[in-house]
Structure 1
Amino acid sequence: MTAPTPPDLRVTLAGMPLPNPVMTASGCAANGRELHRFFDISRLGAFVTKSVKRDPQSGRGTPRMAETSGGMLNSIGLQGPGIHAFVAEDLPWLAEVGARVLVSIAGARAEEFAEVAHVLLDSPAREAVAGIEVNISCPNVANRGLVFACGPDSSAEVLRQVRAVVPASFPLVAKLTPDVTDLVPIAEAALAGGADGLTMINTLLGMAIDTDRMRPHLFGVTGGLSGPAIRPVAVRAIWQVHAAMRAGTIPEAPIIGVGGVRTGRDALELIAAGAAAVQVGTATFADPCAPVRVLEELTSLLAARGCERISDLVGAAHGPGAGDQRAAARASREATAREGERA
């Protein structure tokens, strides 16, 4: 009796060919060295770095983190050494261990994002960079501190600036915030500005108060809420944007789902909503091996369902629709072409 064929986990995201759809989430595993002590990070589809800015940044004061029911709040402030130190020290190491790297970039102005991207792609270790995740979920100091991703115009402007210095063939993924009334116009604007795909969602803005001191728990007062508590929000956001793509309201593009993924079943839920890949973030604080465990659990779930390809389940919860009809038409054309070649 032959063993069942394992499911095909390969995905291609906006031109990024990856061996599987599981990644780390930006900011939850530094730049790889810490996590690599627990497992080989090249096993993941991609390693997503902490958001890197142009200049070194010390971040906010302490306390920076607070536990909440079903999650945690963080107010780190994008602490980091800056892009020049990143390409000199971290990127060569990531290339050395064989990681496929999705580099998260950030900035206080649209122009800064472009400067960071330019330095990144000018690096000798550029071959390790599978793509760039443009973290537009950070404040725009040129516009009264408003978050770039809270407005279509500011979202599009950042992507336009980055795309101007990045070759058209190089994958750009825009990371969106859920702290908006309607994500669909923001997604549309990011894609129109030059994004090839979307990462959803970033943390939700939250706050905790220390009732012993009767003061905000975090030095920065508010922080980003992450963890299992936000997974239903991530599922909803992915569903809405993917549905708009299927309806032809906005262009089709791959979605990377993130938000509260702890298990393979959590990952499958985001995939069924419309995500082509998933990121594991907060779960790594309690279980550093969470990303590879999620990958193994997801593989087992697919095998138990008799699923041949992970791509077959992307958006499956939406049922038959325009996207399925287009895929069926493509499959029919490909089958006809193969038959012609045999003849």
Structure 2
Amino acid sequence: MSDRGSGERTAHDRTGHERTAGDRLRTSIGALSLPNPVLTASGCGGTGRELAQFFELSRLGAFVTTSVMPQARAGRPTPRVAETPSGLLTAMGLPGPGVETFLEHDLPWLIEQDVRTIVSVAGDGVEEYGDLSRRLRGVPGVAAIEVNLAAPNAGDRGGTFGRHPAAAAAVVRAVRAHARPGVPVLAKLAPDATDIVTIALACVDAGADGLTLINTMDGMAIDPHTLRPALTGVSGGLSGPAIRPIAVRCVYQVHAALPRTPIVGVGGIATGLDALEFVLAGASAVAVGTALFHDPTAGPRILRELDEALAARGIGSLADAVGLAHRPAGYVPPQVRPDELEKERT
């Protein structure tokens, strides 16, 4: 696959060896090697065709699909989107054409575009998740599987698997059991759990190769004109900059507990510095979501800004920045040039 990225600007590590931007930005999620850490967030890039009007999708580290379910779903009736200060409330109901159409039309198109594709899956029961994983097992072009543990769970009266360690572990175990060996399984968690670290530990123990943190938070808005809830589903998922501090906190806490587990940070990323914040907290990659709705080119822009932010701080590679906020004050990572640090102080 082509490794198109943010150009070939160079930096030097402390031994004086030249490093290209491509080298700086490489990352991995389990066995999946990526040319850069910027992904789309599930559900925010459509089928990929919508974003492809603005840039080549292969420039991103990977494209994360809208959550695929066994059968086609129309989703909830409108209105199902409402803007809020610094955020967006959505109650879509996971609309989609179902796995058959995805495998016949959407995934082949992404493969033709040379796109690294992470397939998000969701179901109403453990068996459905396992069946979806089985369907994807022999399909080429699946770089990883993201398990949407914040999807409505019909057996739990609209709750989510991701709020209960045992339930989350059961789903991850079912997906891992049927996934093709070598294909990473990522567990996507909601922040509404009482203790997200406990959920994360349960998922990793069940076979998750990585974690995606976080999904949307439950929220609600009331329309002052109609005097009724703004969404037909009453409440919805809050995304955007409003949840970024919560997402960063979750990434930080989980990385502290599981420092060797790759994390994809999600939640209100709109700039390269936002992405850097997640990386410093412990994320090996980041996913851009709500920002795409008003700036479809946000992915490549954030990638460029992140690259510039690393270079400006003298950090020779993305890997050197992952989890850096956990280090003691005064710690200098291996690829930071002391002369650049001195410039920053002055």
Q: Which residue number corresponds to residue 296 of structure 1? A: 304
Q: After the TM superposition, which residues 73-88 of structure 1 pair with which residues of structure 2 at under 5 Å, given as runs?
A: 73-88=89-104
TM-score normalized by structure 2? 0.88
- Structure 1, unmatched stretches of 5+, are 247-251, 329-343
> TM-score if structure 1 supplies the norm length?
0.89
The Cα of 1:167 is off from its aligned counterpart by 3.2
Tell me, what secondary structure is at the counterpart of 2:244? helix
Paired with 1:3 and 1:303, the residues of 2 have a C-alpha distance of 9
Query: Could you tell me which of 22, 31, 36 is aligned with 1:20?
Result: 36
Aligned length: 315
Task: Report whether the alignment pairs 1:200 with 2:216.
Answer: no
Match of 1:159, SS state, is: helix
User: d(CA) in 2 for partners of 1:210 and 1:230?
Assistant: 21
> 275, 283, 287: which is aligned to 2:295?
287
Partner SS state of residue 55, structure 1 = coil
State how far apart, in whole Å, the 2-side matches of 1:6 and 1:164 are.
39
- Map 1:28-177 onto structure 2 (within 5 A): 28-123=44-139, 126=140, 128-177=141-190
**Separation in structure 1 between the aligned mates of residue 163 and residue 206 of structure 2, nearest angstrom:** 15
- Superposition map of 1:299-310 within 5 A: 299-310=307-318
Question: 1:56 aligns to what SS in structure 2?
Answer: coil
What displacement does 1:114 show?
Answer: 1.1
1:12 is displaced (CA, Å) by 1.3
Alignment partners' CA distance in 1, 2:48 and 2:10? 35
Amino acid at match of 2:20: P
2:254 counterpart SS class: helix
Deviation at 1:146, TM superposition (A): 2.1
What's the counterpart of residue 343 of structure 2? Answer: none
Which secondary structure does the structure 1 equivalent of 2:162 belong to? helix
- Give unmatched runs, 5+ long, in structure 2: 1-8, 12-18, 335-346
Deviations 1:189-227 (A, max 9, x none): 111111100000000000000111110000111100000
- With 93-102 and 134-143 compared, the bigger mean Cα shift is at 134-143
- Over the aligned positions, Cα root-mean-square deviation in angstroms equals 1.7
Give 1:6's match in structure 2, choosing from 16, 20, 23. Answer: 20
- Indicate conservation of the 8 Å contact 1:83/1:120, yes or no: no
Equivalent-residue separation in structure 2 for 1:208 and 1:201 (angstroms): 21
Counterpart among 224, 229, 232 of residue 237 in structure 2: 224
Aligned to 1:336: none
1:34 match: secondary structure: helix
Contact map agreement 2:137 2:180 (CA 8 A) in 1: no
Cα distance in 1, alignment partners of residues 94 and 170 from structure 2: 21
Matches within 5 A, 1:250-265: 252-265=260-273
1:271 aligns with 2:295: no
- The partner residue of 2:224 within 205, 211, 221 is 211
**What secondary structure does 1:224 align onto?**
strand
Give the fraction of aligned pairs with identical amino acids, expressed as a percent: 52
Distance across 1 between alignment mates of 2:261 and 2:318: 17
Q: Secondary structure of 2:25's partner? A: coil
Q: Is the 8 A contact 1:64 1:75 kept in 2?
A: yes
Q: Aligned AA for 1:176?
A: L
